[in-house]
Amino acid sequence: MYSSAFLLAVLSHTVSGLPGERHGLAKRDSTLIPTSCFDSTSSLTQYFNYNYPWGDTHNGAAIMKDSNSVIADAGVLTLNATYTGASDYAYDSGTVYAKQQFTVEAGGGLDFSAQFIAPVETGTWPAFWLNGVNSWPPEIDVAEWKGSGDISFNTFNSSSEVQAQDVKYPSPTDYHTVLAELRDEDGSNVSVNFYLDGTLITTQYASGLVGQPLNLIIDLQMEGSSGSPGPTGTTLFQIKNLEVIDKNA
């Protein structure tokens, strides 16, 4: 007790001596996943595992294979869904999830951002989303495209208590930027500001999310919620400049 009080006194003295720092309460953002994460296959596998946290399938017609998540150009992750016509899963596709788990701590927050070229055709279901480690829900769809030409931003409190905002997805063959800011609202609920290309689209609230660990998943699922039949060729989902910033410090 005595020694830690002493240490605190020394630290706050040191911090208050730095120009531009707030007395003793300096908050620093830290980068949990840097924008260089897709610079090479080794940086991809430093930060991400292949497939879903629970396996290689999820509510759709694609089975995930490691070989369908590739760094073809430095800086860009490409997920490739290819029609095989197999009777159980008609597509081979790619999914990765972050090796780290992410938690909004009391008084804190997290920022998730990336740029995407996302397919919007019927039967194509790319997504960039957060899923509860210990239970479902929680789920936050930072960005999801369900084969309708729209992008969807969603927060699930339960399977029936869902906030969902769909907006037209402009020029899908160009990159667009998505950002979700998660913040502790009241010690229990979390607010989520969803941005598309720098414009705030919607603010949603996740019940009791403070302190609950989340998995970050990037997948190219097919058919399922995006309708059918899906395309019989190859579909690509491309992601660059992904960044996760810790606002919990």
Ligand X SMILES: *[C@@H]1O[C@H](CO)[C@@H](O)[C@H](O)[C@H]1NC(C)=O
Give the active site residues.
Answer: 139, 144
How far, CA to CA in Å, does 48 sit from each of 80, 82, 98, 101, 107? 17, 22, 4, 11, 27
Query: What is the DSSP-derived secondary structure letter of residue 197?
Result: T
How far, CA to CA in Å, does 136 sit from each of 131, 198, 214? 7, 29, 10
Nearest to 62 by CA among 37, 40, 82: 82
- In the set 43, 101, 163, 202, which binds ligand X (CB under 6 A)? 163
User: Is residue 154 a contact residue for ligand X (CB under 6 A)?
Assistant: no
- In the set 29, 73, 174, 186, which binds ligand X (CB under 6 A)? 186
Query: Tokens representing 201?
Result: 């689209």
User: Is residue 89 a contact residue for ligand X (CB under 6 A)?
Assistant: no
User: Is residue 76 a contact residue for ligand X (CB under 6 A)?
Assistant: no
The residues, ordered by sequence, that sit 6+ positions from 170 with a Cβ below 8 Å of its Cβ are 176
d(CA 84, CA 224): 16
- In the set 50, 89, 195, 205, which binds ligand X (CB under 6 A)? 205
- In the set 51, 69, 82, 221, which binds ligand X (CB under 6 A)? 82
State the minimum distance, in angstroms, from the CB of residue 61 to ligand X: 16
User: Is residue 50 a contact residue for ligand X (CB under 6 A)?
Assistant: no
214 phi/psi in degrees, rounded to 5: -125, 145
Stretch touching ligand X by CB under 6 A, among 3-11, 20-28, 138-146, 187-195? 187-195
How many residues make contact with ligand X (CB under 6 A)? 16
76's torsion region: left (phi>0), alpha (psi -120 to 50) or beta?
beta
Query: What is the DSSP-derived secondary structure letter of residue 188?
Result: S
226 to 245, contacts with ligand X by CB under 6 A? Answer: 234, 236
State the minimum distance, in angstroms, from the CB of residue 26 to ligand X: 27
User: Is residue 73 a contact residue for ligand X (CB under 6 A)?
Assistant: no
User: Is residue 157 a contact residue for ligand X (CB under 6 A)?
Assistant: yes
104 to 143, contacts with ligand X by CB under 6 A? Answer: none
State the minimum distance, in angstroms, from the CB of residue 188 to ligand X: 4
Neighbours of 165 (CB within 10 A): 16
- In the set 15, 26, 76, 162, which binds ligand X (CB under 6 A)? 162
Please classify residue 222 by burial: count the beta carbons closer than 10 Å to its beta carbon, then call 0-12 exposed, 13-18 middle and 19+ buried: buried
State the minimum distance, in angstroms, from the CB of residue 138 to ligand X: 10
Give the residues lining the site for ligand X (CB under 6 A): 72, 78, 80, 82, 157, 161-163, 186-189, 205, 207, 234, 236
